[in-house]
Amino acid sequence: MLYLGLDVHSKWTTVVGFDPESGETVRLDRVSNEPEAMGAALGALAGPLVGVLEAGTNSWAIYRQLEPLFERLVVAHPADLWDRRQDRQAKTDRRDALRMAQKLYRGEITPLYVPDARTQDLRCLVRSKVRASRWVTKLTNEIGSLLRSWGYVGRRSLLSKSGLNDVARAQLPARSARILALWLQMLSTAQAIEDELEQAVAEEARAEPECALLQTVPGVGPFTALLLRAEIGEIGRFSGPKALAKYAGLVPKVHQSGETCRYGPLAPWGNRWLRYALVLWANRIAASRRDTRLRRFYWRRSLAGNKSNPAKIATARKAIQVIYHLLRRGEAWQESLTQEERAGQVA
């Protein structure tokens, strides 16, 4: 059996490995990532093959391309592979590939979840929708900043029809007027992109059974439901709500020494897109006037600590429990539950 480490770049891959029984070593330098070249190079090796590659921009595509050639192929998080505080040697493709193969052989690698093509496509859609909305916000801020620099104080939102009419009537010097026209042109394009992506999100949400379940929860619309479905993937890969909360980056840092344990701010790791959706959802719950269990939970936490932001994070963690149990059981949200049912969801 050959244990192979694959150091993947955008155009080529360096493969280094070894057979622990015979001591045979293998090295393939800069194999093209084209399917034919990669298939020919790895197909010529005496199997069975066991391999590992580092998570990166094209790791899912490379994984799906190579997975049929391997008895077992895994994708590893960079944190499982490298420790910059201890690794003092110069990094090279060959050395990195060999290190990955050795760690795989010793069982020191926890495989990452590899989304299927459908899930990856949905992730691309919802993440692009978030980026498009941020572009609209950034361009709006640029226009407002330019107008304020010439003394214009708008009383209407720049995204409203009346606000845009006020902007069109602004009298600016030649260069500033041209820059304003360019910003407005870019804003119009960004808004058109945002609208198209929003429609696509709504269409995909209608096609996903999980989204129908999630939208039964107060405050969850098509975008939030589709983002949750895409970023979570298969709910069965999580052992429980705590594992899902950790994946979402909604667990605090823990500082422990002996019997002393202190909890700090949120840990910097986790799925930032999933955390974004959950915190946004918690904000909607806090601002809502609809009386729900999640809203009551938020106000209990807010009043107890007299702080709104920690209460919103706590509400987002509580929402994780709702999501986990809904998707695991395949049951819609019910505002009124029996005592037994309430034990599994939000008290």
Which residues neighbour 175 within 8 Å (Cβ) at sequence distance 6 or greater?
Answer: none
Rounded to 5°, the CA angle 146-152-158 comes to 70
pLDDT of residue 335: 76
Distance, CA of 215 to CA of 78 (rounded, Å): 35
Backbone angles phi, psi at 52, to 5 degrees: -145, 140
Identify the pLDDT of residue 266. Answer: 73
Residue 274 CB neighbour total at 10 angstroms: 22
The three-class DSSP label of residue 306 is coil
Q: Is the dihedral of CA 106, 110, 112, 113 positive or negative?
A: positive
Ranges of beta strands (E only) in the chain are 2-8, 12-18, 25-32, 49-54, 72-76, 252-257, 260-266
- Domain 2-105 in CATH 3.40.640.10? The answer is no
Q: Which of 131, 187, 128 is nearest to 160 (CA)?
A: 187
Contact 4, 50 (CB under 8 A): yes
pLDDT class of 343 with cuts at 50, 70, 90: very low
Give the residue extent of every domain in the chain: 2-105, 117-207, 214-344
Question: Picking from 82-91, 269-278, 281-290, 332-341, which range would have the lowest pLDDT averaged per residue?
Answer: 332-341
- Residue bearing the bigger pLDDT, 339 or 343: 343
Q: Is 76 helix (H, G, I), strand (E, B) or coil?
A: strand
pLDDT tens figures, 72-107:
999 999 888 877 666 666 678 899 899 999 999 999
User: Using H for helix, E for strand and C for coil, what is the string for 240-258?
Assistant: CHHHHHHHCCCCEEEEEEC
Measured CA to CA, the distance from residue 39 to residue 31 in angstroms comes to 10
Percent of the chain with pLDDT over 90: 62
- In this prediction, residues 126-147 reach a mean pLDDT of 94
> How many DSSP H helices and E strands does the chain contain?
14, 7
pLDDT of residue 255: 63
Q: Give per-residue pLDDT as tens, 113-133.
A: 999 999 999 999 999 999 999
Per-residue model confidence (pLDDT) at position 347: 44
| Token code pair at residue 134 | 């941020």
Mean pLDDT of the chain: 87
Predicted pLDDT of residue 225: 96
Residue bearing the bigger pLDDT, 201 or 293:
201
In this predicted model, what pLDDT tens digit does every residue of 149-188 receive, in sequence order?
988 877 777 778 777 777 878 889 999 999 999 999 999 9
What are 71's two structure tokens? 């008895």
| DSSP state string for 85-148 | TT--SPP-HHHHHHHHHHHHHTT---PPP---HHHHHHHHHHHHHHHHHHHHHHHHHHHHHHHH
Mean pLDDT, rounded, for 38-52: 90
Tokens 């719950």 locate to: 285
Long-range contacts of the stretch 162-167 (C-beta < 8 A, 24+): 167/143
Q: What is the pLDDT of residues 306-318, one digit of tens each?
A: 577 888 888 999 9
The pLDDT-based confidence of 264 (bands split at 50, 70, 90) is low
